[in-house]
Amino acid sequence: MNKINIGLLGYGIVGSGVIKMLGSRRAYFREKYGVVFEVKAICDLRFKDKRPLIPGMKTRLTTDASEIIQAEDIDVVVELIGGLHPAKEFVEAALDQGKHVITANKALIAHFGQALFERAQKNQRSIYFETSVLAGVPVIRPISEGLAGNTFNAIYGIVNGTCNFILSEMTRNHLSFADALQLAQKNGFAEADPTLDISGGDSAHKLAVLTALAFGKFLPVKQIYTEGITDISYDDIDHAESLGLVIKLLTIAKKSGGDLEARVHPTLIPKDHPLALINGVYNAVYLDADPLGKVLISGEGAGQMAAASGVVSDLVNLATRSADRPLLCNLFDDDNTLKYRTIDAIESKFYIRFMAMDQPGVLSKITGILGRHQIGINSVAQKAHNKAQAVPVIMLTDYTTEKSLRVALTQIRQLSVIKSKPVAIRMEKLQ
């Protein structure tokens, strides 16, 4: 019988879910995997005010992380405090003390993964982080181990449940962005301060992790072009539907002409594509692998027990593998031959919405500026409207560079007949 002694840093929603799952499935783990998990100690600053009773476990409670990191009776440190600091320092110290680490911290892996993996190898230990991208839905091990014989051409992901819920509700129930966000908060799918989610920042962290795994390229998070969903209106969703398209916040990493693209932004995709069917708080990663082909991994990517399930799967993986065999997902060599293509150089088709005064010559002014920047127009649409107000004008462009479009939109915004910032949404031809 294998016994794994655990030290837990962070007893919040996910941490308490891990304890709940370990407690309720002790017999299952013992009988199926021949392993006993013992939570020796838990650290949380909130224990200063309230010390919870954890039934069925003889567990030390502390507010000092060093008591866990330095404890001789602990084999693995589970980091669930989140953020960059002091999480980074705690993980470094745990590795230096000869302990394995399990973390759900996507920001930590995105910003410091390369250095932490190198440190882990130096100490002959491993970092497990299955929960960092899709919570309990497995994607780290499928990419690094299950598809180990494949190379990757592209990864497309819907990796933020908050944004996907908001866009789904806007689509299904004709809600405004503000109303859909309020509903997400009411249902516990969005934080009181949802900025990291709706700005695309959370998705960018996850994309950095996926890019390192699939392409061997450790990109600084700040280098990844990131755009959120705050400018999307129901009008855009309605127009998209009439074109047979849906809007999703996509993470995109793909090889293009020998370069690597990595970006996060709202994207128009065909309604019949598998990713278009991922709704609510569900997440998905769509892989284009060689030679296997297209692979879709999907499931509920948020929630206490979903995240706890991912952490516990890492514990089982640790308990059932050879201790001296490093994880494939802990490789830290960077592919210096793969160059990053900046957003300015990327070519896309675009959906553009202008709010313009209903006056003669407006379209010619707009198309004139677009034409001077070599931006072709594939179609123009304008719905019924009240002439007393600014009206939406919808244009679909041909392929153009991001830089050309942005310069043109800046000039168009300065026209007196344009009454608000134009909205531009990229149209992605999914592989």
Q: What domains can be seen in the chain, in order of their start residue? A: 2-129+305-330 (3.40.50.720), 140-301 (3.30.360.10), 347-427 (3.30.70.260)
| pLDDT the model gives residue 358 | 85
CA distance 349 to 375: 10
- Describe the chain by its helix, strand, coil percentages, rounded to 5: 40, 25, 35
- In angstroms, the CA 213 to CA 210 distance is 5
Burial class (CB in 10 A: 0-12, 13-18, 19+), 406: middle
Q: Which pLDDT band, with edges at 50, 70 and 90, does 199 fall under? A: very high
45-54, 154-163, 313-322: segment of lowest average pLDDT: 45-54
Band (1; pLDDT cuts 50, 70, 90): low
Q: pLDDT value at position 389?
A: 75
pTM: 0.95
Per the residue annotation, which of 206, 217, 248, 254 is the catalytic one? 206
Q: Which residues have CB under 8 Å from 96's CB, separation 6+?
A: 119, 123
What stretches of 48-87 adopt beta strand conformation (E)?
A: 60-62, 76-79
Decide if 383 is catalytic: no
Residue 387 scores a pLDDT above 70: no
Residue 36: pLDDT above 80? yes
